[in-house]
Amino acid sequence: MSPSSISVYGIPNCNSVKKAQDWLRQQALPFVFHDFKKAGVPETALDSWLAALGWASLLNRKGTTWRQLPPEVQAQVQDSASARALMLSHSSVIKRPVIDWGAASKPRFTVGYTPESWPTHISLP
């Protein structure tokens, strides 16, 4: 797989995103960063993540954004469609980072900072 096809999605001030970027740099792996705050959540990418990872693994129920949502809004999130709508309107409820390792990787997407599993997605130099 070409390392240039790695995309990291998240927000720049998230510690997990920072650690993931640092790890990729330490491995000399080029990547593109997609900032949810500046560019929003790409709907087609979100649909791919939901299909591959499931909505429950993408939804960050431990974060500040989730905890600040009214209980009735939290209660409405019960399936992929309702989670998708919430993620599009509140990008900070997406667990971070989401990494797209490229089309040749199986599985193609990971969520969260889990560097112990990442070498299976790439060929380290």
User: pLDDT digits over 27-82, tens only?
Assistant: 999 999 999 999 999 999 999 999 999 999 999 999 999 999 999 999 999 999 99
What pTM was estimated for this model as a whole? 0.89
Residues acting as catalytic residues? 14
Per-residue tokens: 25: 């740099």
78 CB burial (10 A radius; 0-12, 13-18, 19+):
exposed
Please state which of the four CATH numbers 3.50.50.60, 3.40.30.10, 3.40.50.2000, 3.40.640.10 is assigned to the domain occupying 3-120: 3.40.30.10
Q: What is the predicted pLDDT for the residue at 119?
A: 82
The DSSP bridge pattern shows strands 109-111 and 98-100 to be antiparallel
Q: What percent of the chain has pLDDT over 90?
A: 83
